Each structure stands twice: as C-alpha cells, then as structure tokens.
Amino acid sequence: MELTALSNIFDISYGNSLELNALELCENKSRGINFVSRTAKNNGVSAVVEPLRTITPFEAGLITVSLGGSVLESFVQPNPFYTGYHVMVLKPNRDMLDEEKLFYCACIESNKYRYNYGRQANRTLKGLRVPVSVPSWLTNIESVLDQKIKEPYNKAEINLEVNNWNWFSCEQLFNIERGKGPRLNELTKDGNTPFVTSTDQNNGWNDGASDYSMHRGNVISVARNGSVGEAFYQPVDFASTEDVHIFNPRFNLNVYIALFFVAILKMEKYRYNYGRKWGMKRMNDTAIKLPATVNGQPDFMFMEKYIKSLPYSSTLLKDAQKVKPVKYMSPKIKEKDLSDDELIKKYESGEINLKSSIKR
C-alpha cells in the first residue's frame, strides 16, 4: 500500500484555541455550537456553547485531532464547531465520503503509541504517513452515518426540566450485588457467555468468554474499581469479576430506561478513582436525581420517552435483540483452584467432599 504524508491529503490548521470558561454554555443545544477539546469522549465534544458574533464556526464534516492530553484522538465532526487549545482541524483537499474520513481517523490514531503527555504531536502531525487511498471494500459498505440509522424512535422534542426532578437512593431503585464469575485464567475464546470486567470499553465485555453465566440479563453493570463508575446495560445473561457490581432493578426495566440510568450513574464517576473505590455501601447510599411524577415517584415513562427522542434511538431495540441470549448454567468449580477458606465453605454447605478435594 502506497503511503504519503497526511498533509498531502488534508489541509491542516490549528483550531480556535478558545477557553471554555470564557464561553457561555447554551441550554438550547439545537441552536448552540459544539465545543471540541482534547477529550477522548463524546466525539471530542465537551460542551455546547452560545454562538460567537466575531468567530465563524468550523463547518461540519471536518476532522479534529487532539495534539495533547488524549493525544491523536481523531473525530469526524457532524456539526459546526469551535475548538479549544491544541486541537488541529483537517479539511480534505478532495471530495471525501464519511467512511473515508473515518478510515483516516483510524490511521492517525494508530500512531498514538509514539506520543504521551510529555510529547505532543504539534510538529509531527502533518508528516504522519498514511495510505494514499482507502481500501476498495470501504466505499462499498452501507454508510455508518446513514440517515435511517440516525433517526430517533419518535421525533417529539422533550425538555428535561431538571428543576422538577427528585432525589432517590440507588438502594430504593436497585438490588445491588457483587459481580460473580470464574477467574480470568479460566476464560476461553470460544465460551458463549459475555464476561464483564471493569473496563470502559466494549460494553464492559472482556475479550475472553465464560462457559456459564452467573447473572441474568436486562440489568446494569457498574464498575467499583478500575474504570470506576463506568456503567453499561447488559441485555443478556453474563458472568463478571468482583470489580463490577450488578444493579438489579426493583422496577420494569427496558433498554431505553436502562440507558437513561446509565447516563445518570456515570455522572457520579468524578467522585471516585483508584484510591477511592465505589464500594457496595457507597453505591446503595448514593442519591441520584431523576424525573418524578406528581406523586413523587420516579417517572420511568418520561425516561423512556426522552431516550426515544434522541438520534439513533430507532435502532436501540433492534441492536439489543441482535445480541444472542445465552443458556444459564451452574458453574463447574474445580476444587483444586479453590483457596482453603473456599474449600471449607464448600464443605460446610455440602457441595464437595473436603477429604477427596485435599488429596487432589
């Protein structure tokens, strides 16, 4: 594959270098302008701000690249935008499909290993070597930004009106339990049950898989350690590490209501880190603010309607149904892998013959 400098394919320039604290946040996001910073989250958009009279936003369809912080995080911006410090803006010097732009974003990000907080990409971005053209198969697939995929379940515009929300403890809403599953070294690539860990990637699913499930699906998993506070909706039965706590709903849950809760629970992340875990007691005691009915109860119907009004919501139920359910099986524990305390507990419960297990 023929390579060339990135600057031969894109016109590369610095962004606006604006300070977010000097801008006015926009409550009506439909008329606001996205503010792109060096974050690796949310397509690089960290806020929506009021339009500036003296500065014209960058046009939609351009690529933003972080030079520092989350170095080389690259995104195609679907809406007009401003940028913060140390963000480059790439404009294709020829007509380019969105699929092609995303391909070049991946090419840029593949160079992340060369950089860190002490070595930014200010001087070297333009010289990065990338393919002259994209693979032929790329332009033959259905667009990932197809308008049909972006459509909401319903097009009603709903105002959150957070001033009318009430506080509820997590214990009121969920029965929270510690994650259960096999040890990591027992996982296989060909298991048929998702294994949830405290990662912030891939819906929390580990590369390996378990041969049996320990938790029913249609629940929310929340990391207490590692990527503390990362929350995901788990549509099917699964196993997990003890670093994940399982939020079993005390109400009727579906994918729409679950994703509303996921967003709310993730807002608690800033309180915790590697030195301060989000343990069971803290989770149960955590108060979250939610839409409420006139009777002061959580308004689950409103939560569902709101998620259904968002872009891409028309695909949520279909995507959840595509995940194949797995058969719930009892774990097959190998006594030789148990600790002494675990062996004693198994013996006292009558699950194993302690004498024969010790001989092994």
pLDDT in tens, the chain (360 residues): 789 999 999 999 999 999 999 999 988 777 899 999 999 889 999 999 999 999 999 999 999 999 988 899 999 999 999 999 999 999 999 999 998 999 999 999 999 888 876 678 888 999 999 999 998 877 665 554 455 677 888 888 888 888 889 999 999 999 999 998 887 777 877 778 889 999 888 899 987 777 778 899 999 999 998 889 999 999 999 999 999 999 999 999 999 999 999 999 999 988 887 778 899 999 999 999 999 999 999 999 999 999 999 988 888 877 666 665 544 333 444 444 455 555 555 544 444 444 444 444
Q: What is the pLDDT of residue 329?
A: 39
State pTM to two decimals.
Answer: 0.59
Query: What is the CATH number that goes with domain 3-144?
Result: 3.90.220.20
Q: What is the pLDDT of residue 164?
A: 86
Residue extents of the structural domains in the chain: 3-144, 162-322, 332-360
> Secondary structure of the chain: what % helix, strand, coil (to 5)?
30, 25, 45
Q: What is the pLDDT of residue 109?
A: 93
Fold of the CATH domain 162-322: Adenine-n6-DNA-methyltransferase TaqI; Chain A, domain 2 (3.90.220)
Same fold across 3-144 and 162-322: yes
DSSP character string of 300-326: HHHHHHHHHTSTTGGGHHHHHHHSPP-
Q: What tokens were used for 305?
A: 């309607």
Q: What is the pLDDT of residue 324?
A: 58
At a CB cut-off of 8 Å and minimum separation 6, what does 265 contact?
A: 220, 222, 229, 231, 247, 288
Q: What's the CA gap between 302 and 164, in Å, rounded?
A: 12
Q: What's the CA gap between 359 and 8, in Å, rounded?
A: 70
Q: What's the CA gap between 243 and 277, in Å, rounded?
A: 10
DSSP character string of 277-292: ---HHHHHH-EEEE-B
Q: What is the pLDDT of residue 210?
A: 75
Q: What is the pLDDT of residue 323?
A: 65
202: left (phi over 0), alpha (psi -120 to 50) or beta: left
What are the start-end ranges of the E strands in the chain? Answer: 3-5, 10-14, 33-36, 45-49, 63-66, 74-76, 81-83, 87-92, 129-131, 166-169, 174-178, 193-196, 205-210, 219-223, 231-234, 239-240, 244-249, 287-290
Chain centroid to CA 342: 35
Q: What is the pLDDT of residue 302?
A: 95
